Amino acid sequence: MTSLSHPGIDSTRMQPPGSHLIKFSFDQVLPVVSHGAGVFVYDTDGRRYLDGCSGAVNANLGHADPDVLRAMADQAARITFAHRGTFHSEHAERLADRLSELTGYPYVFLCNSGSEAVEAALKLVTQYWRERGEPDRGRFLSHRIGYHGSTVGALSLSGHPLRRWAADPLLHDFNTLTPPYSYRYADGRDDTAFTEFLLDDAAARLDDRSGTLAGVVVEPVGGAAGGAITPPDGYLAGLARLCRERGVPLVTDEVMTGLGRTGRVLAAEHWDIRPDLVVLGKGLGAGYVPTSAVLASREIVEAIGAGTRAVTNGHTHGGYPLSCVTSLAVLDVIESRGLVAAAARLGVRLRAGLEELAGRHEIIGEVRGKGLLQGLELVRDRDSRAPGDPLGSLTRALVTSAQEHGLLIYPATGGVNDAVLVAPPLISSPGEIDLLLELLDASLTSMKACSST
């Protein structure tokens, strides 16, 4: 039998005794979660953690929101699941109506997770071309640094070396666009010159695949792979123009950024662009249920309506009643409490505090992001911009130090830099933002003390 092993890992080592659960890291020992309340999470030893990353940047309303829990309990007492191939659901209709009103997109397709919604978007685009009589268009373009999900199509889009490694034989190399990552790729150019360089590169790649290109998929603000990589002004608008001139659909992955996280309903609004499809995920369920959606333009859906009149894609739990009612309650909270505007307002406070920390902690090479999605690039040396050695070591050290100080922050896991995301819940108060900054300051100070001993 062929031995399967990861280079550099002792294959004789096994998981800790007594556990049948396959964990992300076999060696990692983690606290056991007990409960959450507001912006705080508690473990079974009674320790309290300020959730400075909203779980996986999805618990946008914090934890145990009473309005959401009430709606969930009421629906659970009625029915939790009905398959959309058997029953029509008024809850799914209401959610689609609500998302359409909120975003202006006329059509909504409901899914289970962000990865599945990205896959659904890819299939809608390729079906669009087949309905138009161009079946050879099945290739996509995306950035060399980015993360779109763990399924095969979504991972093919992802510039995420660590996630791609094991699945590489299954994947396509869609991720070829130069990332709009000024800190590492501008090479001394100002924003205007870097934007021009990026768009020239994108135009060449679009034209090179003109006969087989189905669409372009990008994150408006990067998430897990690089840590809130934010494009220079003009880039996304220019990319949308290039796609429009060539008749190629543009898809924005707003799984992490959508529904208020960046201080706008959709992050693409910061640059006044309107993609052909938008993928929503994390914030739609806000950590209460797994759910996601694809927002689609009239042109995409009506091409299918004029042809086969059937979407050849679906998942068991897509649009199930409990998820739809929960998402409607989440949207109620976001709108009734003004959380999109709050994210913009609190984002200014958070950004100013992070910039102040960067002035005192030389490990912070750059602060970037929008609203309540902020990223810190970590470096060993500011002049050379050298990341940790080995790569990822600074990220792990800061995440560990923060957790020891009662603060949760999210590691950039792409294997391309050292960075973390700071993304507290949209319900945070100004005082809780200040507490986050105090805890992060203490965590950075402890890191410095440890490195000097």
Asked if residue 418 is part of any domain, the answer here is yes
Judged by average pLDDT, the poorest of 162-166, 189-193, 206-210, 361-365 is 162-166
pTM assigned to the model: 0.94
Name residue 293's beta-bridge partners. 110, 280
pLDDT at 16: 59
Catalytic residues: 147
Asked whether residue 15 is assigned to any structural domain, the reply reads no
| Percent of the chain topping pLDDT 90 | 87
Residue 44 pLDDT > 70: yes
State the Cα torsion 42-47-52-57 to the nearest 10°.
-40
- Same domain? 137 vs 176: yes
Tokens encoding 237: 């608008």
Q: Which of 307, 336, 365 is the last residue of a domain?
A: 336
302 and 410 assigned to the same domain = no
The DSSP H or E segment spanning 49 is strand 48-51
Please indicate, yes or no, whether residues 281 and 265 belong to a single structural domain of this protein. Answer: yes
Flag whether 11 is in a domain.
Answer: no
Q: What are the tokens at 146?
A: 């980015």
Do residue 332 and residue 345 come from a single domain?
no
**Cα distances (Å, whole numbers) of residue 355 to 41, 68, 144, 410:** 26, 35, 27, 18
What CATH number should be reported for the domain holding residue 157? 3.40.640.10
Q: Do residues 302 and 422 both lie within one domain?
A: no
Does 404 lie in the same domain as 307? Answer: no
d(CA 277, CA 270): 17
Residue 453's pLDDT is 55
Q: Is the domain of 345 the same as that of 307?
A: no
Q: Are 50 and 40 in contact (CB under 8 A)?
A: yes
The answer to whether residue 446 is domain-embedded is yes
Residue-wise pLDDT for 115-161, tens only, equals 999 999 999 999 999 999 999 999 999 999 999 999 999 999 999 88
Taking residues 184-198, what's their average pLDDT? 98
Number of Cβ within 10 Å of residue 74's Cβ equals 11
Nearest to 299 by CA among 238, 237, 248, 245: 248
Q: Do 159 and 142 form a contact (C-beta atoms < 8 A)? A: yes
Q: What is the pLDDT of residues 279-334, one digit of tens each?
A: 999 999 999 999 999 999 999 999 999 999 999 888 888 899 999 999 999 999 99
Distance (Å, rounded) from C-alpha 53 to C-alpha 63?
12
Q: Tell me what pLDDT residue 451 has.
A: 67
Same structural domain, 146 and 99: yes
What is the pLDDT averaged over residues 50-73? 98
Residue 341 has pLDDT above 50, yes or no: yes
Give the domain-ending residue among 336, 368, 386.
336
At 85, is the pLDDT very low, low, confident or very high (cuts 50, 70, 90)? Answer: confident
The answer to whether residue 299 is domain-embedded is yes
**How many domains does the structure of the chain reveal?**
2
Helix ranges (H only) for 222-338 are: 235-246, 282-285, 298-305, 321-336
Give the closest residue to 284 by CA, choosing from 96, 158, 17. Answer: 96
- 220 upstream amide cis, omega within 30 of 0: no
- Other Cβ atoms less than 10 A from the Cβ of 205: the count is 16
13 part of a folded domain: no
3-state secondary structure of 113: coil
pLDDT in tens, 387-417: 999 999 999 999 999 999 999 999 998 789 9
Q: Are residues 193 and 233 in the same domain?
A: yes
Q: Is the pLDDT of residue 7 over 60?
A: no
The beta-carbon contacts of 308-317 under 8 Å, at least 24 apart in sequence, are: 308/127, 308/131, 311/109, 311/124, 311/127, 312/123, 312/127, 313/109, 313/119, 313/120, 313/123, 313/124, 313/127, 314/84, 314/85, 315/111, 315/112, 315/116, 316/83, 316/112, 317/81, 317/112, 317/290
Helix axes 339-360, 321-336, angle to 10 degrees: 70
| Band of residue 432 on the pLDDT scale cut at 50, 70, 90 | very high
Domain boundary among 336, 370, 405: 336
Q: Are residues 317 and 361 in the same domain?
A: no
Token duo for residue 280: 């929503």
Residues 246 and 353 in one domain: no
Determine the pLDDT at residue 3.
Answer: 42
Question: Is the domain of 37 the same as that of 76?
Answer: no
The DSSP symbol for 434 reads H
For 192-213, how does the pLDDT look when each residue is reduced to its tens digit (9 = 90+)? 999 999 999 999 999 999 899 9
CATH number at residue 447: 3.90.1150.10
241: pLDDT strictly greater than 50: yes
How much is the CA Rg of the chain, to the nearest whole Å?
Answer: 22
Reference 220, options 173, 176, 265; nearest CA is 265
Main-chain phi, psi angles of 14, to 5 degrees: -125, 175
Please check whether residue 369 lies inside any domain of the structure.
yes
pLDDT at 28: 80
In a domain, 19, yes or no: no
C-alpha to C-alpha distance for 43 and 288, rounded to whole angstroms: 19
Its domain, for residue 93, covers: 66-336
